[in-house]
Amino acid sequence: MREFEWKRKGVHLGAIVLPILYYLLPVPVGRACLLALTGIVIILDVVRLRHSTAHSIFVLVFGPVIRRHEVWSLTGATYLLFSSLICVFVYDKPVAVAAISFLVLGDLMAAIVGTRWGRVRVWGKTIEGAVACFVTCLIVVWVIPELSLRVGLAGALVAAVVEIVPVPLDDNLSIPLMSGLAMQLLTL
Q: Give the total number of structural domains in the chain.
A: 1
User: 3-class DSSP state for residue 121?
Assistant: strand
Measured CA distances, 156 to 59, 82, 84 (Å): 35, 20, 17
The tens place of each residue's pLDDT in the chain, 188 residues long, gives 577 677 777 877 899 999 999 999 999 999 999 999 999 999 999 999 999 998 888 888 887 778 787 788 899 899 999 999 999 999 999 999 999 999 999 999 999 999 999 899 999 899 999 999 999 999 999 999 999 999 999 999 999 999 999 988 899 999 999 999 999 999 98
Q: How far is the C-alpha of 29 from the C-alpha of 123, rounded, in Å? A: 40
Percentage helix, strand, coil, to 5, in the chain? 80, 0, 20
Range of the domain at 71: 3-187
Q: Is the dihedral of CA 102, 129, 135, 17 positive or negative?
A: negative
101/23 Cα distance (integer angstroms): 11
At residue 4, the pLDDT reads: 60
Q: Phi, psi at residue 146, to the nearest 5°?
A: -75, -10
Q: How far is CA 45 from CA 7, 40, 91, 144, in A?
A: 20, 9, 26, 33
- What global pTM score does this model have? 0.92
CB crowding 114-144: b at 16 or more within 10 Å, else e: beeebeeeeeebbebbbbbbbebbbebbeeb
22 neighbors 93 (Cβ within 8 angstroms): yes
Interatomic CA distance for residues 168 and 96, integer angstroms: 22
Q: Residue 181 burial by CB count (10 A; 0-12/13-18/19+): exposed, middle or buried?
A: middle
Relative to beta strand 125-126, strand 121-122 is antiparallel
